[in-house]
Amino acid sequence: MINNLQDTTTLSNGVKMPKFGLGVFKVEEGPELIHAIKFAIKHGYRSIDTAAIYQNEEGVGQAIREGLQEAGISREELFVTSKVWNSDLGYESTLAAYETSLTKLGLDYLDLFLIHWPVEGKYKDAWRALETLYKEGKVKAIGVSNFQIHHLEDLMKDAEIKPMVNQVENHPRLTQKEVQAFCQEHGIQLEAWSPLMQGQLLTQPVIQAIADKYNKSTAQIILRWDLQNGVVTIPKSTKEHRIIENAAIFDFELSQADMEQLDGLNQNLRVGPDPDNFDF
């Protein structure tokens, strides 16, 4: 049973990563962002996920510093993720991008640094840079985002260190079971972005029926499904009641039948770009 918000999964290198966190995709710099992160930390969240392309690392860093101080916890108790953007994929440029992210965040290290998208012909050099950062102790764990099985296979042919995490779009309409099975087989932790399908699943009838049964919200059902599937999840929210509600999923367990019903909603449907066909 996954008991609380601070529960962790152990990555292949022994680093402990919270199973649940806060995403800040498309949250602009400003008071709303800072408030959301501080509020999340206050309410027990211990994982914050950002990226260079979100253009909010400075605000995230400020919120982390203030939030840690107010909650009376140390930097080591927080798990912070950022990602290198496509235009910076290359050995030297990825090393430089890491330093830029670190400076903007105002941190001494990152817990997890990811390659954001598998840009063909570029991600291997970027991966070498991540391996360097990892070996130098500048980052606790390294991984990728939006990688399909063939991208992972290609990367691992030449990699010294295999990715510890693969963060992908994952929700009941896009269960990615093959990718997950591959990742499990290779000791790579799967992590879900857009776990609620950017809100599109919140009124889905099957999920609503399950939610009514457990006296929970549809969002809580989906996020609980993630955790029981062994998938790390980082729902995005800036609203206090949602930040609390999203995390209130540790007092119930979905039955096997309900898990299977949720799995059965898969249509291989994406809200984000297709990792095999994107042009940015």
Compute CA 46 distance to the chain's CA centroid, rounded to the nearest angstrom. 12
Inter-residue contact 52 to 101 (CB < 8 Å): yes
d(CA 187, CA 127): 17
Q: Distance (Å, rounded) from C-alpha 119 to C-alpha 220?
A: 34
Residue found under tokens 């102790």: 137
Beta strand ranges found along 97-245 (DSSP E): 110-115, 139-145, 165-169, 189-193, 232-233
Return the structure tokens found at 219: 């969002």
Helix (H, G, I), strand (E, B) or coil at 74: coil
Supply 128's token pair.
């070498």
Candidates 54, 98, 123, 134; catalytic one: 54
For Cα atoms 20, 22, 26, give the angle at the middle one, nearest 5 degrees. Answer: 145
Query: How far apart are the C-alpha atoms of 48 and 8, rounded to whole Å?
Result: 14
Is 54 catalytic? The answer is yes
Amino acid at the residue 162? K
Cα–Cα distance for residue pair 10/12, rounded to 1 Å: 7
Residue 52 to residue 56: CA distance in whole angstroms: 8
Tokens encoding 60: 């995230």
Q: Which two tokens stand for residue 63?
A: 């919120």
Tokens of 203: 């009124």
Give catalytic residue positions. Answer: 54
